[in-house]
Structures are given as C-alpha cells and as structure tokens.
Structure 1
Amino acid sequence: MDKREEQVPLMRVLGLPEVVISGVGVILGAGIYALIGEAAATSGNALWLSFLLSASIAAFTGLSYMELSSMFPEASAEYEYTRQSFGCTLAFITGTLVILSGIIGASTVALGFAGYFNGFTGADLYTVAIFLIISLAAVLFIGIKQSAYIAIIFTFIESAGLVGIIAIALPHIGSVNYLEMPQGISGVFIAASLIFFAYQGFEEIVKLSEETVSPEKNIPKGLLLALIFTIILYILVSISIVSIGGWEAVAGSPNPFAKIAGSVFPEGYLIFTFIALFATANTVLLMMLSASRIMYGMAKKGRLPQAVSYVSKSRRTPVVAIVIVTVLSILFLSAGGIKDVAFITNFTLFATFAIINASVIVLRIIMPDSKRPFKVPFSILKVPVIPLLGIMTCLFFLFQMDMSIILIGVGIIIISATINVLYQTSLKRKG
C-alpha cells in the first residue's frame, strides 16, 4: 500500500465557534498592540482612515479565500488554490511565501513579547523569545483542541484590552480633528501599508480546514465573522487612541496602549503591558500553527519531503512540520525590528493575496462548473469584480513601501523559485 494512503489524518474537532475565535485571535495581537504607534506617526489623527484602507484589502481578499476554501478545504490552502489555477511552480512560490510570513512574523512577535517581559524582569530578550517559541511548540504538539482553547483564552484577554481602550477614550471622543494628516494623504497610505500587519491572520483560518467539522461551510463563515468583528474593533480603537491627547501622544511608541492608559490612571501602564504579553504570545502561537499546517499540506502533496507530512498517531499533529517551524522561528529571531519585518511580511502577504485573487478569476474560467458552496458575488462579463479590486489594492499598497523592502521581497521570491527547481530536479534524478 502507498505510504500516503497509510498516513494518519489530522483530527476534525473544530466547530464554527472555535474557528471564529481562533481567527479573531490570530488577527488581533502584535500588529494592533505594537504597530499602531508607528502608523500614527505618519497618518496622524487620520489613523482610522489607514485602518479602513487596509480593511479593504482584507475584505476583498477575504471573500476570495471564502470561495476557494469552500472549493478546496485542505490544509495546504494557498498552495492548493494556486496549483489548481496556475500550476505547481507558482504554487510552490506562493506556499513558501506564506510559510515564511508565518515564521518571520512569529520570530518578530516573540521578540516583542520578550521586550514586554523584559520590562517586568530584566530577562535577556533572546532567551525569553526562545523559551516562548519552544513552549508554544509544545502546545502545538499536544493537540489542536488544546491549542484552540489556549488561543480562545488569550483572545478574550487581548480583546478586553482593546475594549478597555475604547472605554477609556469615550469621554474624549470628538476632542481632535480626525482628518489631521501630518504627512498628507501619502502618510495615510504608508501607514495603511504598515498597519496591514495588524490584519494578518484572517487568511490563516483556511489552514484549519482538515481539522474543522464541515470545513466547506464553517471555514468561509468563520473567516467572514472574524473579519467583520476585527475590522469594526480596529476602526473604533484607532479613533479612540488618538482622541486622548492626539496622535503626537502615541507616535512611534512601542507600547502605545500602555502609554495612553497610564496617562489616564496610574495602574494603566502595568495592566496594558500585561495584556500585551497575552496578545503577542497568542499571535506567535497561531502564526506557528498556520505555518506548520501549510508546510504539512505541501509535503502531503509531494512538494516538500514526505517526512514533513508525518503525523503523530497519539496526538494527531504534524510533528515534523512543527519542529521545522520552531527551529526556523528561533533562527529568524535576529531578522530585525518589528517595523521593518512587518513591512517584509506585508510584502509577502500582498504578493500572495494578489495571486489568490487572480486564482478566483482564473478558476471561474477554467472550472466554471465546479461546486462552490460559497461564491464571491458581483461579476461583469463572467469576471468577478471583487477579486479584481483585490488585485488592484494589493499592488497599490505594495508599491507604497520603500524600494529596499520591495527588493528584499523580490529576493525572497527568486530564492523560493530556485529552491523549487533544485528540489524538483533532485526528485527527477531519484525517480
């Protein structure tokens, strides 16, 4: 019997509530807690507009993910969508970009956690970050149900922190000019291209397809509900944080919520720093989860070594993929500061999302009769309009970045393509 046929499957235990809360948990976190100060420095009091513009990418692309995940409910997600529409080479590059965005993002956020922890204890940043990554890898190994429960608890804590900021700001709403832009509309666009890191995670929901009950229905619904909740919450928070003292009060701050809360009541700084620990830990957990799942899915498809798809018989988790993600996350701890790495991560996301939106259009043409439990609405001459808008917005914000970031992103794509060629050549030689 073929080894793939004997392979242990992942455990289908997640329902719609777990999918929604896991999605909200990975979207909320380090992006909103750490980058909102950097974004305020360029967008000013129009910070809410930057969040709204970033939300347009998430909304357009989220609908495309919903259609594709209903057609192909598999853990390999982006890889499978791209393979079906553009073939294996571009699929490998896309899958690699997604894996790297998860690994580099997890490393960066782990350092963010270590920075907050250092404020309490004075402990070494890299030691704390390594300990966090290894601890969360152990959680991922134990099981998806346990990982989801921890994510749910952490999500409620970080959500409470954001709701708390809104409550603190209520007496100050209307006290500033919400259209004040210190760097004009271009500053708003730059902030939008940065703050999109805060929306990262909605796409990770589809990687839970092989561990979700009725994934063709629950994954699209979960993705939509998680997006709606976070977009509304983010815009309310962005309005709230500039209402207390204006954008200057938080511009460039690495811990803006704690700074704002501390200015309102004495215990505020300590409380919100503590909440930020849960937010960053949750983001690292869910980024490592998603990276390991797409790595497992690609290996199961034969695009990575077969050993990577090994699943523990007792825990029903992809052990080898988790170990690889853990090791690489530790190695990438020296990748740079959170702002720079956020831009690099966003490049990989914008490039990936442009391909995902294009996949919806191509599959409408080459597979018009395929079953689509969810279908993106609005088409002109059989071309879906929303995915087309998704491509345009992704490319627009991609080119708002510095040329150095774009060149690094192009370099990552070239390296991915090279790895694909070398691996496929080695397979042909063995065959």
Structure 2
Amino acid sequence: MSIFTRLKPIDSVHDNPGGERLKPTLSWPHLVALGVGGIVGTGIYTLIGQAAGLAGPGMVISFLIAGVVSACAALAYAEMATMMPAAGSAYTYSYVVMGEPVAWFVGWSLILEYTVVCAAVAVGWSAYAGGFMVWLDLPITPALLAGPEAGGIVNLPAVAISLAVAALLAAGTRESATVNFVLVILKLAALAAFIALALPAFDAKHFTPFLPYGISSLGENGMKLGVLPAASLIFFAFYGFDTISTAAEEAKRPGRDLSIGIVGSMLLCTAIYIVVAIAAIGAVPAASFATSAEPLALILRNLGRASWSAMIGGAAVLAFPTVIMVFMYGQSRIFFVMARDRLLPGSLAKVNAKTGTPIAVTLFTGVVSAVIAGLAPLKLIAELANSGTLCAFVAVSLAMLIYRRRDPNRPRVFRTPLAWLVGPLAILGCAYLFWNLPALTQRLFLIWNAIGIVVYAVYGVKKSRLAQG
C-alpha cells in the first residue's frame, strides 16, 4: 500500500486494544472549563502588553481578527470532533480524510504547538509569580527568574510549574479536570475584577491615534508592526478550544458535549478578550504597559490600586497552571494516539490501569516543556507555538470541506453553518496570519517539520498500523 493511499477508516477510530483506550470521564461543564482554561491565560494576562507594542490601541482590532479566524476554525473542529469522537484532534481527522503523510505532518506540528505553549505559559506564570513574591517581600534571586535571553541564568519558577502540572496530570484525568474547573472560576473572577477597576478610569484620548503603525508596516529594526502582526502574535490567546477535541475519547456524551465545549468556550473567551483590551487601553496609554511581562497588574498599580494589583497577580499565579494543564493534557494525548497508530513507539500508548492516563508520555512532555520554559524568551516561544496551531487549524478546516464532498450523507451531530464560507475563511485567515509571523519563526517551523519528515521516513513509514495491514 502506498503511503499516499493510507487512509484510516472512519469507523475504525474506536477500534483499539483494551490497554490503549482512554476512560470516558468528562461531561460538558468539564469540557467548557477545559476550553476556557486553555484559552484564557498568557494571551490576555501577558501578551496583551506585547500586542500593545506592535499595534497600539489597534490591538483591539487584532483581537477581533484573531477571534474571527479562530471562531471559523472552532466551528470546523466542532463538526469533525462530534463525527469522530476519538483522541487525536486534527491529527485523527487528517488521517481519516487526507491520509497518513498529512496526518504525520499535522501531528508533528501539534507536538510542537502543545509543547511550546506549555513553556510559554510557564514563562508568563513566572513573571506574575516573581511580581507577587516581590509584593510579599520574599527573598528572590533575579538571575533565577529569567532565561539567558532576558539576562538571567534559568527561569526556575517556569521549570518548577511545568514539572508540577505534569505530575498532577499523571494522577488522573478527572482529578485534574476538577482542579482546572475550580481555578478557571478564579481566573475569570480576576479578569472581572480588573474590568471593574479599570473602566472608571476610561479615557477615550488613549485610543488616539488608533492605528499608529497601520495595518502592517516595518519598524526601524525590520520588525513587523501593525494590526496584522499583532493578530499573528495574540492568535496565541485564542486557541485552547482545540484541546477539547483531544478529549473526545474521554467525553461521556461526545455528540452533545463536544460541540457545547468547543463553540461555547470560544464565544465566551472572545467577548472577554475584547472587553479586557478596551478596558486596559482606556485606563492607561498602550505604550505604558507595552513592555511589561505582567501588564494587567502594572495597569492597576498605575491607577493606584497596588493591593488589587497584587491580588490580580496572585490570581494569575494560582490560575495560570490551568493553561499549562490543558495544553500538556492535549500534548500527551497527541503523543498517545500517534503511538497507538505506531507512528511513534507503541510503548508511549500504554495507559496506566489505576489512573487511566498515559503516565510516561505525560511526564516526558513536562520535562521537555520545563527545559524550553527555563531557557527561551516568551515572544519567540509564543510565535513558534502559533505556527503549529495555524497549521492544525488549516488541516481541520480543509478536512471538513473534503469530507463534506466525499461523504455528504454521513450523520453529523453538529453541522458547521455556511461551511463553504466558514471553511475557506479559516484556511485563508490562518495562512495570512502565518505569513505575518516573523521570518525566524517560519524558518524554525520548517526546520521542525524537516526533522519530522526524517523521523517518519526512518520509523513511521514501516511501523505504522496501516503498513502492517
């Protein structure tokens, strides 16, 4: 069988050995919390400052653009996830619709996405943790709060939180989902408090000029500036709903729960982001928090709300681990399902009988994320994560359209409205955002996938389940 004709039959996605099946333990509230837990995090708590530096007040439009593109992709995900409620997300859909080589490319890109996201959020968490420790007058060594690029030795808090979350996930899916649910409520309460404190200081003058760098332009140092480059960066703030599809196999009622989780979490978070961005710029000029690693806390300090600033920082310290948890969960499930298909070593697909989780791959993910978080700068990590996500979103939207043609009569619990408009919008929007990523990020993405091609050619081509017949 040629590798280009290796399509996984859609009815076989649940045909797995007993020791390689995940337990259905999650209901729709857990899935919505999983999505919100993944979406609301570093993007709004930390990268809002980076976006302000790239686009000024125009970052409100950047959030809207990234939100629309993500919403289109979310609708495609909801259709595919409810039709194929199995672990693997974009990788599984690509395997069924477009074949093994495309599935490998998408899965390899997802491994990059989830691992790097965990590291980026850990770095954002470390910034708020450092600020909170300063407020508490705790003795800290600055060299251990930042990686080499930021003038330190190693970002020790980022390393510690990555390993701690991996240990919690290894303990069990439902247990970690319950912890996530509680911390998501705390995180949303902190954002609501920020909005309530910032809005009374609203000054419309802070929105002038609204587009200081236009839609897209080059700065003096060659850096891309404007609304679109900012959207390419803060696109990081919107994904997270895709991790819900990696939990499809663990949903109790996937037909109902997955669509509620994916679409519900995406709509809720888009509204939250835009309101927070407007409140932040209305309270203080965008330039005043553009370089801060903890912009929301800084804004409240500038408003004379030092105690509330510390509370927002404390809430971030407690709640950021939910984002790491969600993406580390997604990463371990992608590793797991690729191993189950034998594109990666089958030993990674073993599920612990007591916890119902793939412990080995979960802990491996935690260690790799910890190393990246300890050494790499936030902006580079976030942009690199975006490249993998944009690839996955294109794949899912394309798979939805192809399967609509190939098997139009197959029952679809959730049907994407205006699919032939929504699908192309998601594909073109993601491609354009990828084009606006920095050249270094694009090169690193291509290098990562070149390595992936070698791994597939040496191992996956011969070992895959479909190759074995």
Q: Same fold (TM over 0.5)?
A: yes
For 2:421 and 2:103, the matched residues in 1 are separated by: 23
* Alignment deviations for residues 103-126 of structure 1 (CA, whole Å, 9 cap, x no partner): 111122223323333341415344
Q: CA deviation at 1:79?
A: 1.1
Are positions 1:153 and 2:182 aligned together? yes
Are positions 1:251 and 2:263 aligned together? no
For 1:407 and 1:55, the matched residues in 2 are separated by: 25
- Partner residue, 1:351: 391
* 2:160 alignment partner AA: F
108-117 vs 400-409, greater mean Cα deviation: 108-117
Residue 4 to residue 206, structure 1, CA distance change in 2 (3 Å): closer
Q: CA deviation at 1:268?
A: 2.8
- Partner residue, 2:267: 228
For 1:425 and 1:300, the matched residues in 2 are separated by: 14
For 2:30 and 2:374, the matched residues in 1 are separated by: 33
* Alignment deviations for residues 395-420 of structure 1 (CA, whole Å, 9 cap, x no partner): 11111122221111111222222211
For 1:418 and 1:13, the matched residues in 2 are separated by: 37
5-14 vs 364-373, greater mean Cα deviation: 5-14
Q: CA deviation at 1:354?
A: 1.2
For 1:245 and 1:5, the matched residues in 2 are separated by: 57
Are positions 1:93 and 2:105 aligned together? yes
* 1:385 alignment partner AA: L
Structure 1, unmatched stretches of 5+, are: none
For 2:411 and 2:299, the matched residues in 1 are separated by: 50
Are positions 1:219 and 2:258 aligned together? yes
For 1:9 and 1:405, the matched residues in 2 are separated by: 36
Contact 2:116/2:372, CA 8 A, preserved across alignment = yes
- Partner residue, 1:409: 445
41-50 vs 165-174, greater mean Cα deviation: 165-174
334-343 vs 256-265, greater mean Cα deviation: 334-343
For 2:437 and 2:461, the matched residues in 1 are separated by: 35
- Partner residue, 1:397: 433
- Partner residue, 2:148: none
- Partner residue, 2:222: none
Matches within 5 A, 1:303-382: 303-334=343-374, 336-378=376-418
Contact 1:108/1:333, CA 8 A, preserved across alignment = yes
Q: CA deviation at 1:426?
A: 5.2
Are positions 1:23 and 2:35 aligned together? yes
- Partner residue, 1:57: 69
Contact 2:289/2:299, CA 8 A, preserved across alignment = yes
* Alignment deviations for residues 128-185 of structure 1 (CA, whole Å, 9 cap, x no partner): 3332222211211111111111111221121112111211122234533546111112
3-state secondary structure, aligned to 1:237: helix
Contact 2:199/2:283, CA 8 A, preserved across alignment = no
- Partner residue, 2:220: none
Pick aligned residue for 1:34 from 46, 56, 62: 46
* 1:260 alignment partner AA: I
For 1:331 and 1:90, the matched residues in 2 are separated by: 29
Are positions 1:388 and 2:388 aligned together? no
Contact 2:344/2:460, CA 8 A, preserved across alignment = no
3-state secondary structure, aligned to 1:304: coil
Identity %: 27
235-244 vs 39-48, greater mean Cα deviation: 39-48
What's the TM-score once normalised by structure 1's chain length?
Answer: 0.94
Q: CA deviation at 1:296?
A: 1.0
Contact 1:42/1:182, CA 8 A, preserved across alignment = no
For 1:174 and 1:255, the matched residues in 2 are separated by: 21
For 2:195 and 2:127, the matched residues in 1 are separated by: 25
For 1:115 and 1:55, the matched residues in 2 are separated by: 25
* 1:137 alignment partner AA: A
* 1:171 alignment partner AA: P
Query: Over aligned residues, Cα RMSD in angstroms?
Result: 1.9
* 1:333 alignment partner AA: A
Contact 2:159/2:374, CA 8 A, preserved across alignment = no
For 2:389 and 2:82, the matched residues in 1 are separated by: 21
Are positions 1:45 and 2:75 aligned together? no
Q: CA deviation at 1:386?
A: 0.7
Contact 2:163/2:366, CA 8 A, preserved across alignment = yes
- Partner residue, 2:221: none
Q: CA deviation at 1:29?
A: 0.7
298-307 vs 226-235, greater mean Cα deviation: 298-307
- Partner residue, 1:185: 215
* Alignment deviations for residues 254-311 of structure 1 (CA, whole Å, 9 cap, x no partner): 1110011112213133222212212322211111111001211222222221111111
What's the TM-score once normalised by structure 2's chain length?
Answer: 0.86
Q: CA deviation at 1:99?
A: 1.7
Contact 1:60/1:389, CA 8 A, preserved across alignment = yes
3-state secondary structure, aligned to 1:184: coil
Contact 2:298/2:309, CA 8 A, preserved across alignment = yes
Contact 1:42/1:181, CA 8 A, preserved across alignment = no
3-state secondary structure, aligned to 2:205: coil
* 1:147 alignment partner AA: S
- Partner residue, 1:238: 277
* 1:231 alignment partner AA: T
Q: CA deviation at 1:19?
A: 0.7
- Partner residue, 1:198: 237
Question: How many pairs are equivalent?
Answer: 424
* 1:69 alignment partner AA: A
